[in-house]
Amino acid sequence: MNSKSHIVTLDARYQWRAGPIRERMSVLAIEDFDMLEDHVQAWEDLAGEALEPNPFYEPWMLMPALRSFTRGKDIRVVLVFAAEQGESVLCGVFPLQKRSRYKKLPVAAFSLWQHIYCALCTPLIRVGYARQCLDAFLDWLSLQRDCALIEFNLVSGEGPFNRLLNDCLANRGCANLVCDSYSRALFRPMENADKYLRTAISPKHWKDMRRRSRRLSEIGRLECDQLLPDGDVDTWMDEFLQLEASGWKGKQGGAFASNKASRDYFVAIAKQGFKRGKLMMSAFRLNGRPLAHKFSIITRGEAFALKTAYNEEYAHFSPGILLEVENIRHLHDRSDIEWMDSCAAQAHFINRLWLDRRKIHTVLASTGGRRGNVVVSAMPLMKQVNRRLRGFLNGTSTRKEDEKWSR
């Protein structure tokens, strides 16, 4: 690991709800991740007071990821502090990756770090200092002369962070654009589970699911259980790892057990999540044997469905869907969970069962310099020209080709 860190002190005037105030902010960019241990307690406190929750950037999930997935990458974690009555208050955590993001442009870019299992990159920003924190972070970015662009990738496209980001960028005159956007399935409970299921599932599909469940029950005893607070988390972890590795994810190398780094990450976050009461695991079983598993994380009343696995020998019974029906019932019984993010791709079977959607997008912005402003402002035109040129040469223009150009 690199042993460098860099502190920038920013003395500036920021606008906040109470009007203009003068606040002394400091920014610490850490590349030696062992140094993050000194800030864990303050980081935990920040996570509980964040403008928007994001468990993927909480210390118990981010630090195992940094240990497992950063080799060969230019990663740093930027911490933003405010001076408060002689003490430093941690106000923001921004994990960043630096890379040549747009190959056809001679410019480097920072992006919020997204590892293979990270489904959300909304930074942690303390609610009482949100404007000052984001302004200080953008000030720090403006001093990084070798990076003219910043990607706020995979962030919430609605809500307080989105509004704050738009406002800060507009006030600073930083050129920006939404370069990618999609909606993914979100679960919000109704009055009861039966009403939700009747609304989400057509009578035809409901009849088919009941038929599959009956056929399974003819084979043996069906049950759905949850990992309890006093349960054996090691047994549940081993079950999940084996079930996932036995299917197509294992064959293609996408299972947690496929390599040591991924397995270490899973074990670390599962054990820490269980210890903190933030782990939710459920299983659909036949004669005690797991047919499907669901692995989720809960933070501040919001749940995130990280992964599912199922026994492919029973795929014709759709055990994953049958488990999800039970998950919907279970979520209706959990008054402590307001909603669950599917963390799924745009095209996913969960869209058939969950009624709500969450907007996720990527905002590309200039860090404030002329070069970045020119690149961002010209990008729509350059993409249009590129698309038409490709269409002229190939006789067609596809969205896939446009996305390939921007990588």
Q: What pLDDT digit, counting tens, does each position of 36-62 carry?
A: 999 999 999 999 999 999 999 999 999
The encoded tokens of residue 78 equal 């930027």
pLDDT at position 105: 66
Average pLDDT of span 196-216: 95
12-21, 113-122, 184-193, 262-271: range with lowest mean pLDDT: 12-21
Q: Would you give the distance in Å from CA 373 to the centre of its chain? A: 27
Residue 16 has pLDDT above 70, yes or no: no
Q: How far apart are CA 61 and CA 39, in angstroms?
A: 15
23-32, 199-208, 228-237, 326-335: range with lowest mean pLDDT: 23-32
pLDDT at position 146: 86
- CATH number of 5-183+359-406: 3.40.1440.10, 3.40.50.300, 3.40.630.30, 3.90.420.10? 3.40.630.30
Q: Would you give the distance in Å from CA 210 to the centre of its chain? A: 34
Express as a percent the part of the chain with pLDDT over 70.
Answer: 86
Average pLDDT of span 264-288: 98
pLDDT band, residue 376 (cuts 50/70/90): confident
User: Which amino acid is residue 316, in one-letter code?
Assistant: H
Tally the C-alpha atoms within 13 A of residue 382's C-alpha that lie toward its C-beta. 13
pLDDT at position 392: 58
Among 57, 184, 52, residue whose Cα is nearest residue 117:
57
| In CATH, 189-337 is 3.30.1490 | no
Q: How far apart are CA 129 and CA 125, in angstroms?
A: 8
Q: Would you give the distance in Å from CA 274 to the centre of its chain? A: 19
Q: How far apart are CA 291 and CA 287, in angstroms?
A: 10
User: Which amino acid is residue 314, in one-letter code?
Assistant: Y
Q: What is the pTM of this model?
A: 0.88
DSSP state of 57: G
pLDDT at position 19: 32
The encoded tokens of residue 59 equal 């210390």
Q: How far apart are CA 157 and CA 178, in angstroms?
A: 9
Is residue 110 within 8 A of residue 96, CB to CB? The reply is yes
Is residue 6 within 8 A of residue 68, CB to CB? The reply is no
Q: Would you list the domain boundaries of the chain?
A: 5-183+359-406, 189-337
The reply to whether domains 5-183+359-406 and 189-337 share a CATH topology is yes
* Structural Rg of the chain based on CA atoms: 23
Express as a percent the part of the chain with pLDDT over 90.
Answer: 78
pLDDT at position 401: 43
pLDDT band, residue 12 (cuts 50/70/90): very low
For residues 280-318, b (16+ Cβ closer than 10 Å) or e, as one string? bbbbbbbeeebbbbbbbbbbeebbbbbbbbbbeebeebb
User: Measured in Å, how far apart are the chain's first and last C-alpha atoms?
Assistant: 27
SS3 122: coil
Average pLDDT of span 153-164: 96
Average pLDDT of span 392-400: 55
pLDDT averaged over the chain? 89
